[in-house]
A and B are shown apart, each in its own frame.
Chain A
């Protein structure tokens, strides 16, 4: 079974075509990584799934249903959540309020409480700091909060846009461990990453994007490919 199937996707912003025919598939319980140079269109793939960029042609099918034209809140109801770039959180609200806003679309209080305790178990530091204003959090804690906020929606597919951006190597390592754990919990994850090596290591499948097209795809052994070695890892590996 396939969770998400993107076929021949052309998309961009207001007339500017960024993606020029992309095919990607994600199976349940799988981490798929998108790597590539700046401007290749990595984030645009995620934004197309979430209907934030303009899709000109092609199809996106999720659990057998065409979702290309659905609104953001409908996609969230379907179980797709998005964590945007830059760990942006609502810094003048408390940690708890940030999480509750994540579940704003869920009407059932019990479900919200259940999701909240799940997130608190996953990220104990958020529970400790639940009453504090979010701007006092460190970079790593902010990333946990951004992830936790998406988990409040109880997604089955999580879209992560450059989650490691600006984190120290130690925090990056923790973050990638967390992401692997989320797969253990049964989530499918599409991750856009500039840290190509780490992304390939945790991913079940990696796509290399170049100039709006898939240049290469494969499993963990993709790291040995000449192209990846020379261009993205500086030939050091």
Chain B
């Protein structure tokens, strides 16, 4: 397979895990979480540092998710009284805090220089070297993650998540503790973001704070909004659209100085088009309030 295509497909698989897990919190539960990229970053750094300390990949991969989960719980616990826009701002702030830590805690993260030479995943005495085998590896994990999240949203707990989004007070007077539902959702959602971060850095074998900035938040949010709130299928298709459409620009005779801004224009156009003609996204089932 063309290495360029392989590269794109690997990134798409990672972004699918990231975006679908964001949709669990944002779309299904109505938590306006703009801090999702921080969990992606925490997973990325955790997995990097653990494997460098000699922890096997599989363990690092799972622990990376677990550490992200802990931060996810702490974030939702600290913001449990906030709703809507206020929650969005607080979680966005969390993102900047984590970014600043990555940038400034130099003894741990080497700051802006980043950490190179991250090992390729290896397990049971087998190391994933080629991109093709990484694609197969990441696809299997991606499909497994989607299946798990599908089971979650179809379960009775998934119904409670959606009920929390539709009418939190209404659910509380039915005797359900909605705070606990939110804690669980954020623990699950940030776990998947964490393992996506791990998959990301073990693929490109390098990590730096600039991978986890506002631009990335906008990218993942765009995927979720274009694909549709509370739709797994929509998010998967949204990821393909948002990653692939700007790639088409590469085949136009544009200089590299124009290419970057042109990509941003394409994102903006897609987003505007969706908001004008399909405000619920391609397959959305609920409005984002």
Contacts and interface: CB of A to CB of B under 8 A. Distances in A.
Contacts of B167: 88-90
Contacts of A88: 166-167, 169-170
Given A84-B169, A84-B170, A90 B163 contact: yes
Contacts of A72: 172-173, 175
A89 B176 contact: no
Nearest to A75: B175
Chain A interface mostly helix, strand, loop or mixed? loop
Contact of B175 (A89, A92, A93, A104): A104
B160 A52 contact: no
B118 interface: no
Given A73-B175, A82-B173, A149-B174, A89 B160 contact: no
Interface in A44-96: 50, 52, 72-73, 75-76, 82, 84, 88-93
Nearest to B173: A82
A79 to B, nearest CB: 12
B170 A104 contact: no
Contact of B174 (A52, A76, A92): A76
B83 interface: no
A101 interface: yes
Given A92-B285, A92-B286, A52 B159 contact: no
Nearest to A94: B159
5 contacts: A73-B176, A75-B175, A84-B170, A92-B286, A100-B159
Contact-size category for B: 20 to 34
A50 B172 CA distance: 11
Contacts of B174: 76, 101-102, 104-105, 149, 153
Contacts of A100: 156, 159
A93 B169 contact: no
Given A88-B167, A90-B163, A93-B166, A105 B173 contact: no
Interface in A87-122: 88-93, 97, 100-102, 104-105
Given A52-B172, A101-B174, A104-B176, 8 more contacts: A73-B176, A88-B166, A88-B167, A100-B156, A101-B160, A104-B156, A105-B174, A105-B175
B1 to A, nearest CB: 40
Interface of A: 50, 52, 72-73, 75-76, 82, 84, 88-93, 97, 100-102, 104-105, 149, 153
B176 A90 contact: no
Nearest to B168: A88
B163 A52 contact: no
Given A97-B159, A101-B160, A104-B160, A89 B173 contact: no
A157 to B, nearest CB: 14
Contacts of B177: 73
Nearest to B285: A92
A92 B230 contact: yes
A91 to B, nearest CB: 5
A160 to B, nearest CB: 12
A101 B178 CA distance: 13
Given A72-B175, A73-B175, A90 B169 contact: no
Given A90-B163, A92-B230, A93-B159, A50 B176 contact: no
Contacts of B163: 90, 93, 101
A165 to B, nearest CB: 15
A90 B173 contact: no
B175 A76 contact: yes
Nearest to B176: A104
A89 B166 CA distance: 7
Given A101-B159, A101-B160, A104-B160, A91 B166 contact: yes
